[in-house]
Chains A and B, each alone.
Chain A
Amino acid sequence: MTLASSRRKYEPRKAPGGKVATSAMIASLEAEGYDTVAAPFGEALVEAARKDKRIVGLTADLSKYTDLHVFAKAMPERFYQMGMAEALLMSAAAGMAREGFIPFATTYAVFASRRAYDFIAMAIAEENLPVKVVCALPGLTTGYGPSHQATEDLAIFRGLPGMVVIDPCDACDIAGMVPAMIAHDGPVYARLLRGKVPSVLTRHKPDYRFQLGKAQMIREGRDVLVISTGLMTMRALDAAEALASDNVDVAVLHVPTIKPLDVATILAEASRGGRLVVTAENHSVNGGLGEAVAKALLLAGVTPRFRMIALPDEFLEAGALPTLHDMYGLSVAKVKDQIKGWL
Chain B
Amino acid sequence: MHEETQEGHRPNMSLEMRAWNIRRKALLMGEVQGQGYIGQALGVADVLATAWFHALDYRPEDPEWEGRDRFYLSIGHYAIALYAALMEAGILPEEELGTYGMDDSRMPMSGMASYTPGMEITGGSLGQGLGIAVGASLGLKRKGNPAFVYNLMSDGELGEGSTWEAVMSAVQWKLDNLICVVDFNNQQADGPTRDALAEGTQAPKWEAFGWHAQEVDGNDLKDLVAAFDAARELTEPKPRVIICNTRMCKGVDFLETREITHFVRVEPDEWAKALDTLEEGKPQ
B166 touches A91 (CB 8 A): yes
Counting contact residues on chain A (CB < 8 A from B), the size range is 20 to 34
User: Which one, A88, A97, A123, contacts B169 given CB within 8 A?
Assistant: A88
- Mask of B69-96 contacts with A, CB within 8 angstroms, 1/0: 0000000000000000000000000000
Contact A122 B122 (CB under 8 A): yes
Does the CB pair A85–B139 fall under 8 Å? Answer: no
Assuming the contacts A88-B162, A100-B143, asked whether A123 and B132 have C-beta atoms less than 8 A apart, the reply is yes
Is B136 part of the binding interface, using a Cβ–Cβ cutoff of 8 Å? yes
Note all chain A residues with C-beta closer than 8 A to B142: 56, 96, 99, 101
Given contacts A56-B142, A127-B113, are A95 and B168 in contact (CB under 8 A)?
no
Contact between chains at A95 and B165 (CB < 8 Å)? no
Q: Does A249 contact B (CB under 8 A)?
A: no
Which residues of B lie under 8 Å from residue A92 when comparing CB positions? 131-132, 134-135, 138, 166, 169
Decide if B140 is an interface residue (CB 8 Å cutoff).
Answer: yes
Report if A99-B136 is in contact (Cβ < 8 Å); known contacts: A87-B131, A88-B162.
yes
**Which secondary structure characterizes the binding site on chain B?**
helix
Encoded as 1 (CB less than 8 Å from any B CB) or 0, chain A from 59 to 87 comes to 00000000000000000000010110101
Q: Which of B114, B124, B140, B172 interacts with A99 by CB under 8 Å?
A: B140
Determine if A140 is an interface residue (Cβ-Cβ < 8 Å). no
Mask: chain A, 81-120; 1 = CB below 8 Å from B; 0 = not:
0110101101111111111110100000000000000110
What's the least CB distance linking A26 to chain B, in Å? 27
CA distance A95 to B140 in the complex (A): 10
How many Cβ-Cβ contacts under 8 Å join chain A to chain B? 95
Q: Hey, which chain A residues are within 8 Å of B169, CB to CB?
A: 82-83, 85, 88, 92
Considering the chains assembled together, what is the distance between the CA atoms of A93 and B135 in angstroms? 6
Min CB distance B159 to A, Å, is 14
Task: Give bound CA distance, A94 to B162, whole Å.
Answer: 14
Tell me if A94 and B143 are in contact (CB < 8 A): no
Q: CB distance B131 to A91 under 8 Å?
A: yes
How many angstroms from the CA of A82 to the CA of B120 in the assembled complex?
23
Q: Chain B residue with minimal CB distance to A98?
A: B136
In the bound complex, do residue A98 and residue B139 qualify as a contact, i.e. CB atoms below 8 Å apart?
A: yes
A56 to B141, CA, bound (A): 13
From B129, which residue of chain A is reached at the shortest CB distance?
Answer: A91
Residue of A nearest to B160 (CB): A87
Give B104 Cβ to nearest chain A Cβ, in Å.
19
Q: How far is the CA of A119 from the CA of B124 in the complex (A)?
A: 12
A88 touches B139 (CB 8 A): no
Q: Which residues of B contact A93 (CB under 8 A)?
A: 135
In the bound assembly, the distance between CA atoms of A97 and B132 in angstroms comes to: 10
Consensus secondary structure, chain A interface? helix
Within the complex, the shortest CB–CB distance from B280 to chain A, in Å, comes to: 41
Complex-state Cα separation, A92 to B132, whole angstroms? 5
A126 at the interface (CB under 8 A from B): yes
Q: Once the chains are docked, how many angstroms separate the CA of A80 from the CA of B173?
A: 10
A126 touches B122 (CB 8 A): yes
Q: Is residue B47 contacting chain A, with contact meaning CB distance below 8 A?
A: no
Is the beta-carbon distance between B138 and A80 smaller than 8 angstroms?
yes
Encode contact with B along A115-143: 1 for CB under 8 Å, 0 otherwise.
00011001100110000000000000000
Establish whether residues B131 and A119, one from each chain, have CB atoms under 8 Å apart when the complex forms.
yes
Contacts of B166 in A (CB 8 A): 88, 91-92
Instruction: List residues of chain B with CB within 8 A of the CB of A98.
Output: 120-121, 132, 135-136, 139
In the complex, chain B residues whose CB is within 8 Å of the CB of A119:
128, 131, 162
Task: List A contacts of B112 (CB < 8 A).
Answer: 126
Q: How far is the CA of A276 from the CA of B284 in the complex (A)?
A: 83
Shortest beta-carbon distance, B39 to chain A, in Å?
25
Q: Cβ of B21 < 8 Å from any Cβ of A?
A: no
List of B residues within 8 angstroms of A97 by Cβ: 135
Known interface pairs A91-B135, A92-B134, A119-B131; A127-B172 also in contact (CB < 8 Å)? no
For the complex, what is the distance from the CA of A126 to the CA of B133, rounded to whole Å? 17
Whether the pair A91, B138 counts as a contact (CB closer than 8 A) is no
Q: List 16 A-B contacts (CB under 8 A).
A: A83-B168, A83-B169, A85-B169, A87-B131, A91-B166, A92-B138, A95-B133, A96-B136, A98-B132, A103-B135, A118-B128, A119-B131, A123-B121, A123-B122, A126-B112, A127-B113
**Cβ-closest 5 pairs across A and B:** A95-B135, A91-B131, A99-B139, A92-B135, A87-B162
Interfacial residues, chain B to chain A (CB-CB below 8 A): 112-114, 120-122, 124-125, 127-128, 130-140, 142-143, 145, 161-162, 165-166, 168-169, 172
| Further contacts, 7 of them, CB under 8 A, given A82-B169, A91-B128 | A83-B172, A91-B132, A95-B136, A98-B139, A99-B145, A119-B128, A123-B122
